[in-house]
Structure 1
Amino acid sequence: MSKIIEVKEKVEAGKAKLVPGLVQEALNEGCSAPDILQAMVEAMDVVGNKFSSGEIFVPEMLVSARAMSKGVEVLKPILASSGSVSNGLCIMGTVAGDLHDIGKNLVTIMIESAGFDVIDLGVDVPITKFIETIKEHPEVKVLALSALLTTTMPSLRETVNGVRESGLTGFKILVGGAPITQAFADEIGADGYAPDAGSAAVKAKELIA
């Protein structure tokens, strides 16, 4: 377990150059890929809490997210082979007017690790782009929408409404982001809500079950 703790500490500290080697060492010691991934998610939860409380700022958070993504690169082949059956396609994006991508990027990492293929449309994504992408990929199982600002909550509502009104079906809509609550998700007609990256992966699997 000591290597996993070290991985966790280095992700938290944003040591991107050290994390891949430590992840490999943890694997060599017999630690499982999901356990290592969970440790990195926990590290990012700590970082997220520090960011929320004003102890650290965006640059520090980005450095930690980069360190985690370097670790995930080592785990991806193992996670992919262990989850040999794909859970299908997830289309992901931050809604129009919102330029935040840290939370979305963490959710992408977690949903990929849960066995989904992900198309990440990035930030400030207009409703038309989501609809076009769904039309191009009718096999999509989950549409994951992120809003990180209180001021872009109306944009999230409009995006869900726009997708519903397009008449496209066969997929579930998952929403999340700092200001979003279960009550708001219910109000705007989303199929699921996740408060953080780890639960987003769990919820995505629940939605398609």
Structure 2
Amino acid sequence: MITYADLAESVILGDEDLVIEQVNSLVAAGNNPLEIINDGLIGGMNVVGVRFKAGDMFVPEVLMSARSMAAGVEIVKPLISSSDMGASIKVLLGTVKGDLHDIGKNLVRIMMESSGLEVKDIGIDIAPEAFAAAIKEYNPDILAMSALLTTTMNQMKATIDKLAEEGLRDKVKIIVGGAPISQEFADSIGADGFAPDAASAADLCKELVKK
């Protein structure tokens, strides 16, 4: 008899084939699709997030776990109605203008999605005007900006200024992150929050939307 704990462990191990096999077995046995996702798949990724934060797991392992989780979710998703899923927090994610780094951003997206957030990733080298246009189009709850270079950090402030200019600043919470970013910097540019790592970013989004 496969349990949700078994499934969570397979996600932690990043064993995609085993995750697919276990999800199919749980579905065939008549288990609740939402429980399979929340208690099994997301349950496993939550452990991955904690271990990654503590330095006990590394990026390649996290990516394997995320891929395994996603494979399981794809099997279960068609069995769940959108009303059952509930209203999720919408996040617009991108790396700022002049910065072509995306590994950290991609990891943030994985952690956010595995925490049940709805993420629209608009990529790298995103100008302030493009962030503003995307906010108008997608109407997110949160804007998450990433920068890995000290030379591109100022684009975060330029983006916040652009949103203020267009009357969009109060419509969205803004979080920032990346290697050179600090809480002090986030405060200085008027961001709502700073996430030191990918695992913290999802928690921060949930905290900000609750407020």
Q: TM-score range by the shorter chain?
A: 0.7 to 0.9
> Could you say if the C-alpha distance between residues 149 and 113 of structure 1 is closer, same or farther in structure 2, counting changes exceeding 3 Å?
same
Deviation for aligned residue 1:4: 5.7
Match of 1:190 in 2: 191
Q: How does 1:2-151 map to 2 (within 5 A)?
A: 8=12, 11=14, 19-24=15-20, 32-41=40-49, 44-45=52-53, 64=61, 66-77=63-74, 84-137=85-138, 139-151=139-151
Distance 1:134 1:39 in 2: 32
Contact 1:147 / 1:179 at 8 angstroms: preserved in 2?
A: yes
Runs of 5+ unmatched residues, structure 1 = 12-18, 51-60
Contact 2:7 / 2:41 at 8 angstroms: preserved in 1?
A: no
Indicate the percent of aligned positions where both proteins have the same amino acid.
Answer: 38
Distance 2:121 2:115 in 1: 15
Deviation for aligned residue 1:96: 0.6
SS in 2 for 1:86: coil
Q: Number of aligned residue pairs: give it.
A: 189
Deviation for aligned residue 1:88: 3.3
Distance 1:68 1:151 in 2: 33
Q: What whole-Å deviation, never above 9, does each CA across 1:59-86 have from its counterpart, x for those lacking one?
A: xx5x5564244213124356996x8213
> Could you say if the C-alpha distance between residues 3 and 34 of structure 1 is closer, same or farther in structure 2, counting changes exceeding 3 Å?
closer
> Could you say if the C-alpha distance between residues 88 and 105 of structure 1 is closer, same or farther in structure 2, counting changes exceeding 3 Å?
same
Contact 1:173 / 1:191 at 8 angstroms: preserved in 2?
A: yes
- Name the amino acid aligned to 1:38: N
Distance 1:182 1:148 in 2: 15
Match of 2:163 in 1: 163
Please give the root-mean-square deviation of Cα atoms over the aligned residues, in Å.
3.1
Max radius of gyration: which structure?
2
Deviation for aligned residue 1:41: 3.2
Distance 1:183 1:79 in 2: 41
Q: How does 1:176-187 map to 2 (within 5 A)?
A: 176-187=177-188
Distance 1:107 1:88 in 2: 15
Contact 1:76 / 1:113 at 8 angstroms: preserved in 2?
A: no
- Name the amino acid aligned to 1:21: D
Q: Under a length normalisation based on structure 1, what TM-score does the superposition of the two structures give? A: 0.74
SS in 2 for 1:32: helix
Contact 2:147 / 2:180 at 8 angstroms: preserved in 1?
A: yes
Distance 1:20 1:45 in 2: 22
Q: What whole-Å deviation, never above 9, does each CA across 1:101-125 have from its counterpart, x for those lacking one?
A: 1111111122222322221110111
Match of 1:15 in 2: none
Contact 2:48 / 2:57 at 8 angstroms: preserved in 1?
A: no
Runs of 5+ unmatched residues, structure 2 = 27-35
Q: Under a length normalisation based on structure 2, what TM-score does the superposition of the two structures give? A: 0.73
Deviation for aligned residue 1:39: 3.7
